[in-house]
């Protein structure tokens, strides 16, 4: 299953549209006013289904993950010198990426869950997300959102 993650060009806060292979909207992501990043994920019908919220006072970038209103885990950027490394405690996943953080794999042990690649030469952040199992689409999207938020924080 392939998703296209595209940041909106004109937006005060982080806002994204996520499209399926057929071009239809799968998810919409709306940034909310908050200390740190706070992203609400809506399904294709506009219903709030998940939230990704950055912890402001933490040594490493840490994002709390909520499905509905239930806290189910966190995504943490781990210390690494040359390649980005993230842990996803609610799924037992890890992230292995390249030096520029443009391409990376989401893994469960050595089993690939999703492959992410940044599409260059776009006006806004655009990623292609290839998910092996449709049930992993939302958690994989949340990992991509967290990584994009970390990259955005590092640029500012």
pLDDT of residue 139: 92
CATH number of 2-155: 2.40.160.200
Intervals of the chain under pLDDT 50: 156
Domain ranges of the chain: 2-155
Percent of the chain at pLDDT exceeding 90: 43
C-alpha span between 112 and 91 (Å, rounded): 13
Reported residue count of the chain is: 156
Backbone region of residue 101 per phi and psi (left: phi > 0; alpha: psi in -120 to 50; beta: other values): left
C-alpha span between 114 and 129 (Å, rounded): 7
C-alpha span between 55 and 128 (Å, rounded): 27
C-alpha span between 92 and 108 (Å, rounded): 6
Q: Are 31 and 15 in contact (CB under 8 A)?
A: yes
pLDDT of residue 112: 94
pLDDT of residue 144: 87
C-alpha span between 143 and 93 (Å, rounded): 10
């Amino acid at each position: 299953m392939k998703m296209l993650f595209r940041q909106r060009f004109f937006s005060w806060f982080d806002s994204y549209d996520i499209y399926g292979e057929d071009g239809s909207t799968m998810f919409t992501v709306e940034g909310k006013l908050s200390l740190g990043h706070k992203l609400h994920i809506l399904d294709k019908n506009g219903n709030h289904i998940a939230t990704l919220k950055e912890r402001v006072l933490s040594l490493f970038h840490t994002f709390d993950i909520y499905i509905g209103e239930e806290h189910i885990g966190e995504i943490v950027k781990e210390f690494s010198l040359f390649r980005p490394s993230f842990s996803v405690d609610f799924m037992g996943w890890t992230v292995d990426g390249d030096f520029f953080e443009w391409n990376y794999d989401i893994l469960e042990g050595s089993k690939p869950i999703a492959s992410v690649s940044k599409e260059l030469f776009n006006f806004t952040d655009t990623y292609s997300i290839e998910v092996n199992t449709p049930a992993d689409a939302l958690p994989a999207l949340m990992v991509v959102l967290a990584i994009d938020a970390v990259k955005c924080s590092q640029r500012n």
